[in-house]
Amino acid sequence: MSSDRPQSKRKPEPRAERRLSPRRLRQLQEDLLEQIALAARHCRELEAQFGEHPPPGLETIIKLHHSLVLNLSLRAKDTPELLKLVKDLMKPLMDWALLQEKRRQRELAEQKYRDQVEAQKAARAREEQPGGGALTPETLGKIERELNLL
């Protein structure tokens, strides 16, 4: 015997809403708000500490980040989910290393330019000194007499 009832064309409800009662949703919202309030408190405390003590430099933060990535990668062997996290965390480290390399190249190019400018200045200074490249009238006269040009 088959059923002749028309099938319902209602949209299926999202899974989370089907499983969670209104009471549970309220509890989750309250928990989330508590976490946000706690994070805000931590931010205020951190800012107060930075007011008393200067924050660490960027290089120190990068070193700490590198250390955390290494620690996570050791644990990632046992937890495959951590592999994606480690991969995502490595990107800023690689970007930082690339920026550092570009900075070193720029500094080297700047130093090379300064050295060239200094060498050009020194060459001009030597040329402008008396007897530093130009012939004196006495030397010119001696050369002309020896060549019998006049």
CA distance 67 to 83: 15
Q: Which amino acid is at 122?
A: A
- With respect to residue 36, please indicate whether it lies within any of the assigned structural domains: yes
Number of structural domains the chain divides into:
1
Dump pLDDT digits (tens) for 52-111: 888 778 788 888 888 888 888 777 777 777 777 877 888 888 888 899 899 999 999 999
In degrees and rounded to multiples of 5, residue 128 shows phi and psi of: -80, -15
- With respect to residue 12, please indicate whether it lies within any of the assigned structural domains: no
Please give the residue range of the domain that contains residue 31. 21-53
- Burial readout 85-98 (b: 16 or more C-beta within 10 A, e: otherwise): ebeebeeeeeebee
Decide: helix, strand or coil at residue 98.
helix
Q: Rounded to two decimals, what is the model's pTM?
A: 0.42
Q: Residue 133 has which token pair?
A: 């490249």
